[in-house]
Amino acid sequence: MIKYIKIVLVLLVVLNSCHTVPDEPIIGLEDLDFADVEREYIVANKICTMFVSADYHHRIRSVSSMRSPLDTLAYFYTYDTNGRLLTETGVGLWSHTLRLEYDSIGLVKYRRYFTDFLAEFIPTYEYIQEKRMLYQYWRYWDLGIAIDTCFFIFDKKGRIIESEEYEHKDCGQGNHFKTTYTYNSDGKLQNKTETILINKDDLLYLIEWIKKDWTDAEYWLKRNSLIKSTEYYYTNGKIDSTITANFLFKIEWNYTSKTYYDHNGLRVRTVNIYNSPILCYYLYDQSVPIKEFEKDTLIYYYSYKKYE
């Protein structure tokens, strides 16, 4: 009898061990993956600067004598040896400079945005390991007061799956983004969808700018978002193109972007195809358009400089 009891107990132990749930992997702060698809190619190709120029095709007409229809847009991006963005500079109709600094594990520790004003921010972080959730608290650099709280959620492999962030341009103002991420069977980023959450004050400003009444404003308030969804495509495990659908307030404002990459995984050009005219306004007098780009195409071209 005792022999049979021992056999039963052994079987129970074996069965119990078969049903034991394995411990989830411990994801540390240094293991977090923010799905920066292009960073590995920036590092592999030793890129220090990326230059971007924009060209409108084909029908461009100036609606103000104060600017030439030959005006172009250009952007400069610089990177450190780890492929992290250091500066972003835009020249042309929307001039600005963004400067970033990072801590020892690659998290942003300082952000400076400059255009016709200067805004500087210093974030602090809190990581809740059991939830794989990273909080980012922004504050004014001089006052030390909190502005916004951002958060990032990661899966069991440490890959980002959801986030909420702020642009932090004009002293804490700017778009509020909610972003979701999905991955393919190879573990590579497949889709990134950004939703811009709009508060009532921002919406009223926009409605006034496009001269709509409150009836329309209530409708757009219920809609409450602008959406940008990007699909990533790979060949032999290396990125070769992305397609982005941009959904705006009015259907006729929607447009599609496609970015092409070379065999080194670096951008070659981005093509934006618009459904309606593009109006560009002066920063200080938005009642006077600088120019109107008729229903057509905007192309960005990319070139690079490498570290010695």
Q: Dump pLDDT digits (tens) for 139-153.
A: 765 555 556 678 999
Report the pLDDT value the prediction gives residue 230, as an integer from 0 to 100: 94
Q: What is the pTM of this model?
A: 0.75
125 with 135: CB under 8 angstroms?
yes
Output the six-digit token pair for 281.
Answer: 């306004």
Q: Which helix (H) or strand (E) holds 256?
A: strand 255-261
SS3 218: helix
Q: Tell me the pLDDT tens digit for each residue of 22-70.
A: 567 788 989 999 999 999 999 999 999 999 987 765 444 433 433 443 3
Q: What is the mean pLDDT of the chain?
A: 75
Report the pLDDT value the prediction gives residue 31, as an integer from 0 to 100: 92
Beta bridge partners of 255: 246, 274
SS3 205: helix
Q: What share of residues in the chain are helix, strand, coil (percent, to 5)? A: 15, 50, 35
Tell me the mean pLDDT in the region 189-212: 68
Report the pLDDT value the prediction gives residue 16, as an integer from 0 to 100: 58
Rounded to an integer, what distance in angstroms lies between the CA atom of residue 237 and that of residue 187? 10
Report the pLDDT value the prediction gives residue 83, as an integer from 0 to 100: 96
Q: What angle do CA 93, 113, 143 make, to 5 degrees?
A: 145
Rounded to an integer, what distance in angstroms lies between the CA atom of residue 79 and that of residue 266? 14
SS3 233: strand
Rounded to an integer, what distance in angstroms lies between the CA atom of residue 53 and that of residue 45? 20
- Cα distance between the two ends of the chain: 81
Report the pLDDT value the prediction gives residue 202, as an integer from 0 to 100: 57
Q: 139: which residues sit within 8 A by CB, 6+ positions away?
A: 121, 122, 123, 124, 145, 146, 147
Report the pLDDT value the prediction gives residue 4, as an integer from 0 to 100: 56
Greater pLDDT, 282 or 44: 44
Tell me the mean pLDDT in the region 124-131: 92
Question: Rounded to the nearest 10 degrees, how much is the dihedral formed by the CA atoms of 168, 306, 160, 156?
Answer: -150
